[in-house]
Structure 1
Amino acid sequence: MKTLKKQRRIQVLALTAVALVTATVLIGYAMRDGINFFRSPSQVMEEAPQPNEVFRLGGLVEEGSIIRGQGETVSFSVTDGGATVAVTFTGVLPDLFAENQGMIGTGRYVNGVFEATEILAKHDETYMPKEVADALKEQGVFKPDS
């Protein structure tokens, strides 16, 4: 009788462990497309991501680089002081999008150009996305207002 209880307890624990592993794998599989890693222009230039990899690129919009194309297509460059990446975006830019301002774009790096599907700009005069500020600090470009 004692061994039957022990055997049943081991079976329950094994089944629980299998269920937890299965749940973890399923959650990871479901979230694989929702996880976008942040990269600075320097990191993109050091090691170019695969063309099918979706990630976030952030930095400052380079002065004099905004070129409005046909329709809603806009081309510009993003820099962190160490490297510059060309960006294209088709859509409506945020109202606060401007040269020498912080931005983060989500998209893919294809043939040397970051093809953005979404652009986020700072929302007030003092805000800079944490990832962008950290990348600019590494390059010695970011100077917080005080």
Structure 2
Amino acid sequence: MKPRNRRLAFVAAGLMALGAATWLVLDALQSNLVFFFTPTQVVGHAAPRAGAFRLGGLVEEGSLHKAADGLALSFVVTDRAQRVPVHYRGLLPDLFREGKGVVVSGRLQDDGSFMASQVLAKHDENYMPPEAAAALEQARPSAPGGPQ
């Protein structure tokens, strides 16, 4: 084999290896990508029906119901405009409270409820994920007599 052909073979093999590595990285990122949605977006069918995603908002006051075993529970996540019932089996974070911000990871069920695999409560009285804060501000109903 001529030196020029050998060099071309090495360059071609290198490009193929680089392409394969790029494809593997992009495939891994795609499978681990989780989007954030608000209850208004979920009710409006903007959230994926089959894939996992994060749902964020406030835990509705009086909506927390625990089963006798203490591990199965349900509550409602709201953005003050729409509500999504959430079911979860596991231990809740210490900062989980009704009326406070929450982000849950999981999948949407056929009945429109959300089956959570993870519950994240905000860690500080002043902190809220930027996406959740923007969604709550956008969904806040305007005051009667105020600007429309």
Q: CA deviation at 1:83?
A: 1.2
Match of 1:124, SS?
Answer: coil
Question: TM-score normalized by structure 1?
Answer: 0.81
- In structure 2, the residue matched to 1:104 is 103
Letter in 2 for 1:120: L
CA distance in 1, matches of 2:16, 2:40: 42
- In structure 2, the residue matched to 1:61 is 59
- In structure 2, the residue matched to 1:144 is none
After TM superposition, list the pairs within 5 Å mapping 1:15-54 onto structure 2.
Answer: 15-47=13-45, 48-51=47-50, 53-54=51-52
CA distance in 1, matches of 2:29, 2:85: 29
Q: Across the two proteins, how many residue pairs are aligned to each other?
A: 137
Q: CA deviation at 1:132?
A: 1.1
Unaligned 5+ segments in structure 1 are 142-146
Greater than 3 Å deviation, 4+ residue runs: 7-17
Letter in 1 for 2:122: K
- In structure 2, the residue matched to 1:133 is 133
Letter in 2 for 1:92: L
Match of 2:136, SS?
Answer: helix
Match of 1:115, SS?
Answer: strand
CA distance in 2, matches of 1:122, 1:100: 12
**Residues 24-61 of structure 1: per-residue CA shift (max 9 Å, x gap):** 2111223333221111111111115223x111110011
**Mean Cα deviation higher: 123-132 or 107-116:** 123-132
Instruction: Give the root-mean-square deviation of aligned CA atoms.
Output: 2.1
Match of 1:57, SS?
Answer: strand
Percent of paired sites with the same residue: 44
Unaligned 5+ segments in structure 2 are 142-148
